[in-house]
Amino acid sequence: MTEIRAEVCLPTHDLRGDIGFFNKVLGMRMDMIYPADDPAVAVFSGHGLSVRLDAGLDTGAGQLLIRTDDVADFADGERVLTSPGGTQVAIEALHEPFVMPETIHSFVVRRLADQAPWVIGRAGMHYRDLIPDRLGGSIIASHIRIPDGGPVPDMVHYHTVGFQLIFCYRGWVDLVYEDQGEPFRLYAGNCVIQPPQIRHRVLYASDNIEVIEIGVPAEHVTTIDHDMQLPNGPANPMREFSGQRFVHHKADEATWKPFRVPGLQSRDTTIAEHTKDVAGVHVIRVGEGAQDWTKHTTDILFTFVMEGTMTLEGEGRDPYPLEAGDAFVIPPDMKTRYANPSADLELLEVSLPAAFDTIVGK
């Protein structure tokens, strides 16, 4: 069997000094050195890396980033070092603290007819941004589509997030999740939440699959897990991931109830319950009674128009006629009304946090 090794090559103008630095300060072992009478090259390994120091390499100073779960103990707590041979070394935490940026509230309306660009993202999927300003980095909402069905070139991965929702808008997609048993098919109208760091993989998609994906915060890390095989077992559906449990909400098993906004009704996805009120997700349709003005007290309130039409009226704003594919964000304490809803109106509403007050009447 052919043996293959890869090394990062770095220049050095003081190999003798670097030998002690890489060994004693950085805790790497020396694997090779030559020539014996006047060493010019030394190879070190450690921390998942192999480094070749070469006194004859005529390039700019190299840089190393070392990440550790004990920054205070590594290299005597130094965060930035320079080796005798010129290599720049930065020491950072292996897992950066999860920080939610403060929401910058704004009233946002994003209409499909405005021809917002689709961009090609991870695994060849097409992304359309539904909240361009991302409310100061607190949330990203994407309309995602895969025009051609079939196997999806995805890998087992996870996200470092506070909350993540996948709502199947059109078509279907096959998914598999850590500790949730065998792969399953997510149909249109159904949704899942991906708790923080749950391993998962997209397997297969129908033609013209479309999903709405919500991520909090907007910028979050996706990590590939090369070791885990899915499905794994045995299944443990009650497991919590950072205080959240996996949810697979099925429309045909849901109950419709009066909604917080007059004239509408909703089916609760139970996501609030399973995230301990981190987020609430409702599917909304026309109910009984007249529409009225309301305002809310939650931090983020995002809505996507899945079917039908309506007019979004906002205090001090021109009315917005909306149709399927449009999205909007209503900031707290802004009075709005969902006017002129068509009989087939269907909305997807996501609130963070889930528990908040709605004040009815102008």
DSSP character string of 131-158: -TTGGGGT-EEEEEEESS-EE----SEE
Write the single-letter amino acid at 290: A
Q: What is the pLDDT of residues 49-103, one digit of tens each?
A: 999 999 999 999 999 999 999 999 999 999 999 999 999 999 999 877 778 899 9
Check residue 123 and give its pLDDT.
Answer: 63
Domain assignment present for 101: no
Q: Which two tokens stand for residue 316?
A: 């001090």
Residue 157 and residue 87 in one domain: no
DSSP 8-class letter at 114: G
Residue 83 and residue 113 in one domain: no
Domain assignment present for 132: yes
Residue 149 and residue 232 in one domain: yes
Query: How many angstroms separate the first and last alpha carbons of the chain?
Result: 76
Residue 222 and residue 301 in one domain: no
Round to whole Å and give the CA distance between 319 and 108: 13
> By the 8 A CB rule, do 42 and 33 touch?
yes
Domain that holds residue 333: 253-360
In terms of pTM, does the model score above 0.85? yes
CATH code of the domain in which 211 resides: 2.60.120.10
Check residue 115 and give its pLDDT.
Answer: 74
Count of domains in the chain? Answer: 3
Q: Cα separations (Å) of 233 from 162, 176, 300?
A: 25, 12, 36
How many Cβ atoms sit within 10 Å of the Cβ of residue 342? Answer: 12
Residue 194 and residue 155 in one domain: yes
Round to whole Å and give the CA distance between 119 and 151: 20
DSSP 8-class letter at 39: -
Residue 86 and residue 131 in one domain: no
Domain assignment present for 133: yes
Residue where one domain finishes, among candidates 58, 93, 128: 93
Q: What is the pLDDT of residues 20-59, one digit of tens each?
A: 999 999 999 999 999 999 999 999 999 999 999 999 999 9
Residue 218 and residue 144 in one domain: yes
3-state secondary structure of 40: coil
CA atoms within 13 A on the CB side of 320: 24
Residue 125 and residue 220 in one domain: yes
Instruction: Name the residue with tokens 């004040």.
Output: 359
Residue where one domain finishes, among candidates 93, 121, 149: 93
Residue 16 and residue 137 in one domain: no
